[in-house]
Amino acid sequence: MDTLFLVVSLFLPRTILIIYYLLHQIPLNTVPFIGDILLTVFIPRALIIIYIAQNLGTDSPWFWIHLLVALAVYFGGSKKYKDYRKK
């Protein structure tokens, strides 16, 4: 996998998936095409983690970095949401 893809996907997962799709550079995977589309739209970080697991394995540090970022994003919430909950 391309290091640029791995780094940028930490910050802009949906954007990098669309760019790589348009450049025909999506990593090899076993996800059906409709799955690629749906996961890109709704859960792009999960799709990237699937790509990493299939190409680099779960022993790769990139897999764990992306997994930790995904958990932080999904369970950490945003500042706006936390401010809303305080009221």
What's the predicted TM-score (pTM) here?
A: 0.85
Collapsing DSSP to helix, strand or coil, 57 comes out as coil
Give the C-alpha separation, 82 to 10, whole Å.
22
Give the C-alpha separation, 11 to 29, whole Å.
22
Listing DSSP states for 40-87 in one string gives HHH-HHHHHHHHHHHHT-TTSHHHHHHHHHHHHHHHH--HHHHHHHH-
Burial of 9 (0-12, 13-18, 19+ CB in 10 A): buried
| pLDDT single digits (tens) 11-56 | 999 999 999 999 999 988 999 999 999 999 999 999 999 999 999 9
Give the C-alpha separation, 29 to 79, whole Å.
35
Kindly tell me if the per-residue pLDDT of 84 is higher than 80: no
